[in-house]
């Protein structure tokens, strides 16, 4: 159980969750709950994989994945923003749709080997003891993109004008609307952004971190975990990144528990009977539940929490009386 390896792996697999979580943060900050992340991710994974296979270029694959996620999310946008349908059900429908499309269109992709996103070291930084190997050595380009993207996303949301508008339309859309902010248009935009990032997360899996196409096992529920992480992260990209990386590291750490014959001096039960591995596989899901509990309690304590208008369709001219 090597800490360096665990953290390195955590960074890599965590990047997947990072893109998906921050994408959903953008959507939810604008007031739209999009539960279809799993479907968009799977479709993105498939689109990226097959496009790279077809054109021999993993970057085209990434672009295809981003577009796939984005375009799929527009269905959710139309239904929730224009038709004012229930956002929870629409998100679930989106999951079915995305998953179904991915499975149908992805027939026959299992076992193929398209070109993948390259990994490399960052010269100079990789030499720093401990931090170097963890953060800057032998990582996929997408991981480095994730590292840069996180502070940019944070800055955008909290320190720029468009970010202020984003927060306003999620907190009190009427206030923004009466001052001329295009609430509907912006919500569409951020739902689309969320979809694109979910697609990117999918491509990060199939073309980089866990390459391949394994039908629904490709994402195995990470889209749902991302939604849980949004609550844990309290809608903040920095804590989202922390949570995503920590999740990745924990998963790797727990998997590594299966290897050694002895654990802390005692016989490792996982070594003896590999079936106990099923309990290990449960850990990401149990951790997500714990993360959501923590997030909910923090929200109640600080009186902060979800954007106030999250999940409610905005209808101009509706005042309660």
Partner 1 sequence: MNNDSPPYAVEMENIVVRFPGVLANDHVNLTLKKGEIHALLGENGAGKSTLMNTLAGLYRPTSGTIKVFGEKVDFGSPGDAIEKGIGMVHQHFMLVPTQTVTENILLGLDEPRFFMHLLEYDKKVLALEEQYGLSVDPTAKIWQLSVGEQQRVEILKTLYRGANILILDEPTAVLAPQEIEEFMKNMRLMVDSGKSIIFISHKLHEVSEVADRVTVLRKGVVTAEGVSMEGLSKRDLAELMVGRTVVFAVKKKPQEAGDVVLAVDNVQAINNKGITALNGVSLDVRSGEILGIAGVSGNGQSELAEVITGLRECKGSIRVNGKEVANKPPIEAIKSGVSHVPEDRTRVGSAPTMSITENTIMKCYRLPPVGSGLRINYGTAEEIAEELKDEYDILAPSVNTEARKLSGGNLQKVILAREISSDPQLMIAVQPTRGLDVGAIESIQGLLLEQREAGTAILLISEELEELMALSDRIAVIYEGEIMGVVDAAEADVDEIGLMMTGAHAEDLV
Partner 2 sequence: MARITVEKRVEDVPRWMPAATSIFAVVAAFVIVGIILKLMGGEPFTVAKFFWNATFGSWGTFSDTLVKATPLILVGLACTVAFTMKLWNIGAEGQFYMGAFFASLVVLIPIMPPDSPRILVILTMMVMGLIGGALWGFIPGFLKARFAVNEIITTLMLNYIAILWNNFWIFNKWSDAGFQMTPTFEKSAWLPRLSDLARQYSFFSGMTLHAGFIIALIATVVVWWILKYSKWGYEIKLIGDNKEAARYAGINITRNIILVFMFSGALAGLAGMIEISGVVHRLQERISSGYGFTGIIIAWLAKLNPFAVVLVSILFGALIVAGREIQPSGLSQLIQGIVLFMVISSEFFLRYQIKFVREEEPPTKGVQVA
> Which residue ranges make up the site for partner 2 (CB under 8 A)?
35, 39, 75, 79, 83-86, 88-90, 92-104, 106-107, 221, 224, 227-228, 231, 273, 275-276, 278-279, 281-282, 285-286, 288-289, 292-293, 296-297, 299-300
Angstrom distance (rounded) from CA 308 to CA 169: 9
Q: Which stretch binds partner 1 (CB under 8 A): 36-44, 56-64, 153-161, 192-200?
A: 153-161
Q: Which stretch binds partner 1 (CB under 8 A): 56-64, 127-135, 159-167, 198-206?
A: 159-167
Neighbour tally for 139: CB within 10 Å: 23
Between the alpha carbon of residue 183 and those of residues 82, 151, 164, 244, 292, the distances in Å are: 12, 25, 13, 30, 29
CB of 179 to partner 1, least distance (A): 3
The 3-state DSSP class for residue 35 equals coil
* Chosen from partner 1, partner 2, none, partner binding at 94 (C-beta under 5 to 8 Å by type): partner 2
Q: Which stretch binds partner 1 (CB under 8 A): 13-21, 168-176, 208-216, 285-293?
A: 168-176
H or E stretch covering 140: strand 139-140
- List the one residue from 74, 122, 164, 298 that touches partner 1 (CB under 8 A): 164
Angstrom distance (rounded) from CA 290 to CA 312: 26
Identity of the residue, 53 or 109, whose beta carbon is nearer to partner 2 in the bound complex: 109
Residues between 170 and 209 with contacts to partner 1, criterion CB under 8 A? 171-172, 174-181
CB of 297 to partner 2, least distance (A): 6
Angstrom distance (rounded) from CA 81 to CA 76: 8
How buried is 286 (Cβ within 10 angstroms: 0-12 exposed, 13-18 middle, 19+ buried)? exposed
Which tokens sit at 280? Answer: 């290990």
Residues that bind partner 1 (CB under 8 A): 159-162, 164-165, 167-168, 171-172, 174-181, 303-304, 308, 316-317, 319-321
């Amino acid at each position: 159980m090597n800490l360096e390896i665990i953290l390195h792996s955590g960074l890599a697999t965590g990047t997947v969750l990072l893109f998906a979580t921050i994408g959903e943060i953008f959507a939810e900050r604008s007031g739209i709950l999009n539960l279809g992340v799993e479907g968009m991710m799977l479709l993105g994974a498939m689109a990226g994989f097959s496009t790279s296979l077809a054109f021999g270029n993993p970057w085209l694959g990434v672009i295809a994945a981003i577009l796939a996620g984005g375009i799929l999310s527009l269905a959710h946008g139309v239904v929730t923003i224009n038709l004012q349908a229930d956002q929870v059900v629409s998100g679930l429908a989106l999951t079915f749709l995305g998953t179904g499309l991915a499975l149908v269109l992805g027939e026959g992709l299992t076992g193929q080997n398209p070109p993948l996103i390259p990994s490399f070291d960052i010269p100079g930084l990789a030499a720093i003891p401990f931090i170097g190997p963890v953060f800057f050595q032998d990582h996929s380009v997408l991981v480095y993109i994730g590292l840069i993207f996180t502070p940019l996303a944070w800055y955008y949301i909290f320190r720029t004008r468009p970010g202020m508008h984003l927060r306003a339309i999620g907190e009190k859309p009427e206030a923004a609307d009466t001052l001329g902010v295009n609430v509907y248009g912006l919500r569409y935009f951020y739902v689309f952004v969320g979809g694109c990032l979910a697609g990117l997360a999918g491509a990060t899996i199939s073309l980089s971190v866990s390459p391949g196409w394994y039908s629904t096992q490709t994402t195995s529920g990470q889209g749902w975990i991302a939604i849980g992480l949004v609550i844990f992260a309290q809608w903040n990209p920095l804590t989202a990144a922390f949570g995503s990386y920590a999740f990745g590291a924990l998963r790797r750490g727990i998997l590594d528990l299966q290897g050694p014959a002895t654990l802390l001096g005692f016989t490792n039960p996982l070594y003896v009977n590999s079936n106990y591995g099923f309990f290990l596989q449960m850990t990401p899901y149990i951790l997500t539940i714990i993360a959501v509990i923590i997030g909910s309690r923090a929200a109640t304590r600080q009186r902060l929490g979800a954007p106030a208008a999250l999940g409610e369709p905005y209808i101009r001219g509706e005042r309660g009386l």
